[in-house]
Structure 1
Amino acid sequence: MVKLINKMLNNRLGFTRYCAAVVMVSSLSTGAMAADAPSFDCAKVNAGSIEAMVCKDAGLSQLDNQLAEVYSQALEKAKNEQPPTLKAMQRGWVKGRNECWKSEDKHACIEASYQTRIAELQAQYRLVDMTGPVFYACDGNPANEVVVTYFKTEPATLIAEHGDSTSLMFVQPSGSGAKYQGRNESLWEHQGEAKVVWGFEAPEMTCKLVTK
């Protein structure tokens, strides 16, 4: 009788351990799936859409989660922003990302869209380390000033101020110095001198670093 009871207890212990192992594996699998999932509900996306591509790609899903975190940080910084433009800008970005279906390399387009948006938010809302401001006097006129702040984003960015306008620029490949390009503005810095173009088809300015 004692042997029978011990056998039953051993069998029960073995079964319990087996169940615990199954639960652990299931939990790990669920956790891995959650880690690979983007910030939105993949069950609600349309087949063949850009969102569906993000859902199926672990790297793009990771970028989506990173953007969601950065966007949340930006929202906190922008809670007193007037006018409140961040949410509208984000909706515009989503529409722009979804235009990647027109691209020959959709994956590269989506990836670049996420990376630039993350960097843009980090720079605009000062969410990463920065250097500056750095002052440049242009064309020999101290009043013709460009003020630059550099941000440790990926890709690297800067925000330049000239007169009453500002420009967010992204780093570009360059054989020497550091070259940045914005919408209609550019800055190419080398050894304390910067070539600056401010506005569509505007003349290039030669700007010297000023110590203040």
Structure 2
Amino acid sequence: MPIRLSVPTVALAMLGTTSVAMAASPSFDCGNAKGQVEQLICKDDTLARLDRETTRLYGMALDARSLPAPQKKTLLAEQRGWIKGRNDCWKASDAGVCVAASYLERIHELRHAYAGARTQDDKGISRGPFDIRCPDVKAVIAGTFVQTEPGFAYLRWLDQQLVLTQTPAASGARYTATTANGEAVFWDKGPDAQLTLPGKADMNCRVGIRD
């Protein structure tokens, strides 16, 4: 059974808690924010940071000299479609969680598909995609990590994808997600990692940088 895209409960408490003294600053002018989703982003520092990172990656991908004109046209169309989908999150039962998941998926897609989006990692908060190999997963897992507070991990393989939120750990970086089938855990310890999927035993995995 496919694992549905999911942001765990810990993220629900994080989103929407930005105080007035810690005003969010996304890539667009909040004075001209349109619609419920843009207004939500302007009120939440985590969503604002995800917006800035997505916009930064998109700009680098679009400006890359190596990107042929047909691919630029495709990228422009993809971004317009993605923005429309993100803005449709106002229909979701929890718009904040929907928007966060939308940004994380887009960040992964930009970093995965466009080399230009991976050229200035020292100036951003995202890393990846990484190749994660686990013995009982019959495909290489592509993983992207975003350093907000707390951080996020986005994992995708075959027809499955997971959004996990970082939780306290004595060592490494531990991420969890509550799915319809149970809890998933990814524990990153440098080149070594441990992945637990609902109903399955812990798997010892290897993490490598994608060429």
TM-score (norm 1): 0.49
Structure number with higher helix proportion: 1
Q: Which protein shows a greater Rg?
A: 1
Structure number with greater CO (CA < 8 Å, separation at least 6) is: 2
TM-score (norm: length of structure 2): 0.49
